[in-house]
Structure 1
Amino acid sequence: MRGAQVTDNAGIAQFITIFPGWYIGRTVHIHFKVHRDKATVLTAQMYFDESVIAAAHSVAPYNDHVGRDMTNATDYVYDPDSCAVVATLSGGQVAALTVGIPT
């Protein structure tokens, strides 16, 4: 699941996706890149609070898996400053993360 978005005049980009799964050795996260210009790229990750992860993983298809081997607390890359703010809307959830890019 890859994609590209262009920001609006306020510097906001948005995309629709599914909640990420997990893989061995990392906590749940979404990778992203921000291209300021052709030479300046920020590569980062967006994380989720453990309560959000637990809620998502309590329903299908996530609850078919045997479980995670890594939490935010045990992940070697996790940064709490990169944890998304999540709100429930009708039909799904919205996650927001503010990312600062040096100018």
Structure 2
Amino acid sequence: MDDNTCAAPSQPACLLSPEQIAGPYFRNPKLIRRNISEGADGVPLILRLAIVDAMTGQPVTGALVDIWHCNARGAYSGWSKINPDKEVDVGEIGSIPRTDDDTYLRGGQFTDKHGVVRFTTIYPGFYAGRSLHIHVAVRITAGNNYLQERHVAWVGQLYLPEAASRSVLNTREYSGRKASPLTNDEDIYYKHHGGEASTLSVHTLSRKSNEDGYFGSTTIAIDTFAVSSHIKPEDFDRYTV
């Protein structure tokens, strides 16, 4: 989904960004930070997400945007001992027991006056049975405060363009896996739940080498009054650190 999703100013409305499941690796570590990499090996990725109100087209300020994704080898923090080369036939929150208390490649930011958050991370790898993706949850809060959190309005997944992903997966940190990634079109969540509209716009940070990193961006249009069914209040209570 790009920044042209919204209509002209005379008709300030946007198409709602498609929701997708939170997946089995959701946690609530309550980490407010821009740099979520924790020194993880991988190709750098600078991420810019703009959150807008689908009803008005205006920026959503003070919302808490959480992201989480796997490392270059396909592992998620909290589940670092799960073999990412072996497909796991589950998708619901809580369906896979935690293995550790690591927190790499997770974190949240409050949107600024323009409805924007920025993250410094690495380009995600993949785990068996999925294409490359980044999970996102948008919570409506009061006063930029977890204690005044209202509700989760939107949960989704962002996908990476195939050309950039192929280049990244050929680098040292990502290569040599027993499993192979699915293409976006092979991924059932991408194919059946609006993945094309959830694909990041990506370009390289340097003309010299793709390994210097990428910049990815998109606009996410939400209904601020909606209550997502993909992450419930009890899920936060279950997975705090």
Same-fold call, TM > 0.5?
yes
- Normalization by structure 2: what TM-score? 0.41
Shift of 1:58: 1.1
- Normalization by structure 1: what TM-score? 0.91
Provide, for residues 33-64 of structure 1, a one-character-per-residue CA deviation record: whole Å limited to 9, x for no partner. Answer: 11124223311011011111101011111122
> 1:69–1:92: structure 2 CA closer, same or farther, 3 Å change rule?
closer
Q: Distance in 2 between matches of 1:66 and 1:59?
A: 15
Q: Distance in 2 between matches of 1:92 and 1:22?
A: 17
SS in 1 for 2:183: coil
SS in 2 for 1:25: coil
Q: Is residue 201 of structure 2 the alignment partner of residue 85 of structure 1?
A: yes
Counterpart residue number, 2:162: 50
Task: Flag structure 2 segments of 5+ consecutive residues without an equivalent.
Answer: 1-104, 142-149, 207-211, 225-241
Counterpart residue number, 1:14: 118
Provide, for residues 44-102 of structure 1, a one-character-per-residue CA deviation record: whole Å limited to 9, x for no partner. Answer: 01101111110101111112224524111110101111000001113321000110012
What is the 5 A alignment of 1:37-76?
A: 37=141, 38-76=150-188
Counterpart residue number, 2:223: 102
Q: Percent identity?
A: 34
Structure 1 vs Structure 2 CA RMSD? 1.4
Q: Distance in 2 between matches of 1:84 and 1:11?
A: 17
Off by >6 Å, runs of 4+ in structure 1? none
Q: Which amino acid aligns with 1:87?
A: H
Q: Is residue 133 of structure 2 the alignment partner of residue 29 of structure 1?
A: yes
**Higher RCO, Cα 8 Å, sep 6+:** 2
* Rg larger in structure: 2
How many matched pairs? 103
Task: Flag structure 1 segments of 5+ consecutive residues without an equivalent.
Answer: none
